[in-house]
Structure 1
Amino acid sequence: MKCVVLCLGLALMIEGALGLDHTDWNFVTTVYDGRKVNGVLGINRRSMLMIPDAVTDPSKCNRRTINNHDFEKRFVAMKDPVKRECMVKPLGKRETYEETKKALDNGSEFIQSMEHWAMPDSPLPKNRVKREIGSMLADFCSDSALFMLKRAKETQLIRRKRCFLCLWCKGTVIHNHY
């Protein structure tokens, strides 16, 4: 019996030392462009996966993307499974595990801000994807064309046809469902 307890204690210490983390899953409601969007959110220290419910109003800025946040590499990949496109942008300063976990635990809200991102005309070459964004997001986007988004300037917003004015994860208001 002492051996079992000792082995269990050792396993827990090794898990803590290696930083292994389980994923907490939550049903969430976010407010996006004045509309509520329900979804599922899985979060651990390294990443966060956001899967919204199906889009019922397929307007220009209301595409259903599955979003994977890599807190270590500081990128978020927004995957459109219908168009087989994966858009990647840097995470904002406040988009961290700690801030997101605190909001989930407290039922607090994030303040949304409109972001303007320009999508390049061509995807990132496959041989550069893993080097640019890391293996986790490269695997997540492996079945899609990957576009590295850049901050859009006012002139780009007027001229470019492929410009994303809003993305589902741009700043999220999260409410817990119990």
Structure 2
Amino acid sequence: MAFAEIAGMILRAAELAFAAIVAGINGSYLHDMDRLNVDSWYLSRFIYTEVVAGISIFFALIWLIPFSGSFIHYPFDLLVSILWFAVFGLIVNYLNGTCGWVFNWTDINWTDVTVVGNNLCSHRKTVIAFSFLSAICWLASFIVGIIWVRNRTTRRYERRHWRGSRV
């Protein structure tokens, strides 16, 4: 089933790219907050986001290598998808309307490269968008894995033809 292999590789590449974007933006924010000596308890949701992005980068890189064993990890794909949905919810909850409606993308700009200024809302909304996209990709990878495993397993009633019956 070539569709599953191609779809799996495309999804893994997208998962890798989205996790790298989230890790880069979030890591930059954590670095700036570390220089300001912000308490780590305040930054816990961002540390969690960085850990989930790191886990996603690691496993997406490993499973990007095309071999059939990469499809049997579909339960882990569901787990990582749930982790990404949790990241999405944590960051949306963190904004709490301070940057306007979460899905209003008109205020995203990249003219100011500092994290501490007005660009903070742009960074948070970018993390929200790519964490949601990553969650969807991991969920789609889970579904592709289920389809691949289901098509590869032999069913008991399909093993013998009627000519080979023992009756």
Q: Could you say which structure has the larger radius of gyration?
A: 2
**Same fold judged by TM-score > 0.5?**
no
TM-score by length of 1: 0.29
Greater relative contact order structure (CA < 8 Å, 6+ sep): 2
The structure whose residues are more often helix, as a share, is: 2
The structure whose residues are more often strand, as a share, is: 1
TM-score by length of 2: 0.30
